[in-house]
Structure 1
Amino acid sequence: MGFKIELLNKTDLKDFLDSKVEQYNNPKFIESDPIQIPHQFSLKEDIETSGFLTATIAWGNRKSIINNAKRLMELLDNSPYDFIMNHDEGDLEKLQPFVHRTFNGDDTIQFIKSLKHIYVAHNGLESVFAKHAENISLQTSISKFKTTFFEIEHLNRTQKHVSDPLKNSAAKRINMFLRWMIRNDKTGVDFGIWKSLSPAQLSCPLDVHSGNVARKLGLLKRKQNDGKALMELDIALRNFDQNDPVKYDFALFGLGVFEGF
């Protein structure tokens, strides 16, 4: 790097991170990221349902995530919203063989049923997340979403696939999904189709890459990537940009994954 990151003052660190946001927050990012799946669709409900299902399985090898998300969209006839709303029991049987790590066919079928319930009884995904949103955080909203998602009859095993920040989870995958839906900075990566929520309310998707980089930059002291660490990182990133703190996800992720920082 040619300079000591830990010696950078706040202004220089912000400039450094802003330059990394500009480097990675562009359409080229889509080619190697799971966000490419919802980018296949144009209908709002297709974007958000495909995005939610893709984010749900977004852990492990990125190539495997993308391949399995493509496979899942094929099983949903490449019309996820229509499948969710109009499937019958027979249609669900073909989902049984689907598996991504510990997310299996039973979980997939449960997710389809719960998503239908969200649209029929609660006016859709955006409405559920917006209902309990707080001014500078959506973590309570995510917890309430989980309760709503599983208020129909469900398999207990499937609950582990929706995180609960109020139980100290960093909820990385749902925070990533919310970034996709809510941010829109005209670069063409995030969609910005949820107008009832603001980028200022978002939290950074905290995983091993962004966490390690944040610690090296002095933005995060807590060693575990959990809900408390997320709150700490939230405060640090809001100091740089309170209106769009999670744009720095591109910098932290890019530095970690593409530069091995």
Structure 2
Amino acid sequence: MTQELTIAFIGGGNMATALAAGLIGKRCGAHDVHVVDVTASVLEKWSQQGVSVAAAPDATLASRRVWIFAVKPQYLKAAVESCRPFLRDDTLVISIAAGISAETISQWLGTADKPWTRLVRCMPNTPALIGSGASGLMALSGVSEDDRTVTQQLMRAVGEVVWVESDAQIDAVTALSGSGPAYVFLFLESLIQGGIEQGLSDDQARTLALATLNGATQLAALSHESLAVLRERVTSKGGTTAAALDVLYSKDFPAIVQLAMQAARDRAAELSDEFAK
């Protein structure tokens, strides 16, 4: 499979578009990609790239070794059931639909007694749209080492990849990196508003906030020092940073973040149970 990569996207929205942008011309040709979507305007955009398209699953799926389900969770069961007749023994299925366990999807693809285990569940995040994503991956027992390699190559086209061992850990990935961009955006909004309230213009505050977060993140990624050491180097005793951090600690900022993540993980588990019914 590593020699020939043929892909079907079931759902041709933003995430499928981002993945294809990272793959076509680098890992496969446009002729190797097939897209199934119910929206005519979406199919037209894909067709202009030279890929084959269809408004409903058909026999073309049987010729694609990798299927990527990129539909909204509420539509996934119907999409899986409509594609199931075209499964072959060597089909690798990847789901990037949030909130639905690998176990549930495997039973939709197969049966409760004989689930489809050549399946990888993936939790990406929205920065994948600009090639800077973070994705958690988990594989069921039918996934070979070659399948893992292919999946990793696919998802690395849009960012970093981490393998985990269970649906519960995918829920943790959801709480950290899946929902994480929203936490960051809220923090940025707060920084910008704080700057404005202290006399900076909108543009000045936005420029400084974005550059600060980007610079601090890159420094953390490139430094061999721990985050604690990097934080301490910014914090002089009795200085401005210490005064600011005292406020954050007094409000138990680390615990607030962890409670937010716990709420996200719990909701992910609840959604998985709901969709399984």
Which structure would you say has the larger Rg?
2
- Please say whether Structure 1 and Structure 2 have the same fold, judged by a TM-score greater than 0.5: no
Greater strand share, structure number: 2
